[in-house]
Amino acid sequence: MPVWSSGPILSPRLKFWAKAGAIAAALLLLIAGAAVLGGIFRLDRPGPLQADTTIIVERGASLPAIAQNLHSGGVIDDDFLFRLAARFYRVSRSLKAGEYAFPARVSMGGVIDILVSGETVIRQFTVPEGLTSAEVATLLVEVEGLVGTIDGVPEEGSLLPETYNYAWADTRPDIVGRMQRAMTEALDELWPTRAEGLPFDTPEEAVILASIVEKETGMPDERPLVAGVFVNRLRRGMRLQSDPTVVYALTGGTGPLDRSLRSRDLRVDNPYNTYGNHGLPPGPIANPGRASLEAVLNPAETEYLYFVADGTGGHAFARTLAEHNKNVAKWRRIRRTINR
């Protein structure tokens, strides 16, 4: 009775090659494993970067482009291994755009962790108090790393001056929106704390007066006192007679006046001219800071009705026109001395 085998009978030669193939496959696996282990070891090895540096990963950049950028910047020494590692750990699609700070000698694994984290460099810019909206728009154009175009000049007085954080490639319209929300939030917080009996009825009017106070004095301690003078004048029906409102009438808020005010400027027919018109002007003349908003909502209680520069960066205050005229004469003498 014949006995059937369960598989083909291999000749000695075929058996040899089969055994050799198995050995070769095993060697290849060992080599591949060693290469993987070597690559993993290199991921944790200190990198070539000699000093802390920043690298920008552009939005939409491919993995090869990111690797080449890091290699060109000296952050990694092997862009092929970087690509291989990113794919091996399945994070090639998780590398986020932005500006990243890499410490000296950061490992390749550390580089990957930083890019996956999305913890980009935090930048800052400061909007000084008292800039007009046109001046703020110009400032934003000059801020490094911002992108996009502002569609028209923001409404005057709608931007809160302060220091803002941003990241590379944030957009200018988004920054404007943040500044406007910050102003709204400041008014929502401060308006309920206002003193009783103020000669204005709305937060918008508070911003108008605060913008005048902001342009009149750069000394923090004077703001409540200057606000008190203007509040007194409004209560008595006196014109505010504020020089910065005349400047705004002449420039439209596009920038500073390139000359000194002249007596005929005080007669310019413009609703912003508080020498020729009673009450508040129709809108703000700048973007006031929080301190000026606080000053007009809680002005100093004073009998002063006048003030003029005193030559020291501050102002001389007066209760009567006669006292004020003496202060004006003194200021004119100081100014003539300065201009000699």
What's residue 13's pLDDT?
Answer: 57
Structural Rg of the chain based on CA atoms: 35
Give the pLDDT band (50/70/90) at residue 310. Answer: confident
Give the pLDDT band (50/70/90) at residue 37. Answer: very low
pLDDT at residue 29 greater than cutoff 70: no
How much of the chain exceeds pLDDT 90, in percent?
80
Compute how many other C-beta atoms are within 10 angstroms of the C-beta atom of residue 53.
15
pLDDT digits over 47-84, tens only? 999 999 999 999 999 999 999 999 999 999 999 999 99
Mean pLDDT of 301-309: 95
pLDDT at residue 259 greater than cutoff 60: yes
What's residue 21's pLDDT?
Answer: 54
Contact 176, 138 (CB under 8 A): no
How much of the chain exceeds pLDDT 70, in percent?
87
Span 53-117: which CATH code? 3.30.1490.480
Contact 296, 194 (CB under 8 A): no
pLDDT digits over 136-189, tens only? 999 999 999 999 999 999 999 999 999 999 999 999 999 999 999 999 999 999
Please state the pTM of the whole predicted model: 0.81
Using DSSP's 3-state secondary structure scheme, residue 187 falls into helix
Which residue ranges make up each domain of the chain? Answer: 53-117, 123-185, 196-339
pLDDT at residue 6 greater than cutoff 50: no
What's residue 311's pLDDT?
Answer: 83
CA angle 215, 171, 210 (to 5 degrees): 15
Give the pLDDT band (50/70/90) at residue 19. Answer: low
DSSP secondary structure code for residue 287 in this structure? -
What's residue 335's pLDDT?
Answer: 80
* Residue of higher predicted confidence among 340 and 297: 297
What's residue 43's pLDDT?
Answer: 85
**E strands, 97-254, in order:** 98-102, 123-126, 163-166
Does the CA dihedral 268-273-274-277 come out positive or negative? positive
Q: Return phi, psi of residue 73, to 5°.
A: -80, 0
Give the pLDDT band (50/70/90) at residue 333. Answer: confident
Structure tokens at 4: 């059937």
Q: Nearest CA to 106 among 149, 46, 147?
A: 46
- Mean pLDDT score of the chain, rounded to an integer? 89
What's residue 218's pLDDT?
Answer: 87
Distance CA 158, CA 177 (A): 10
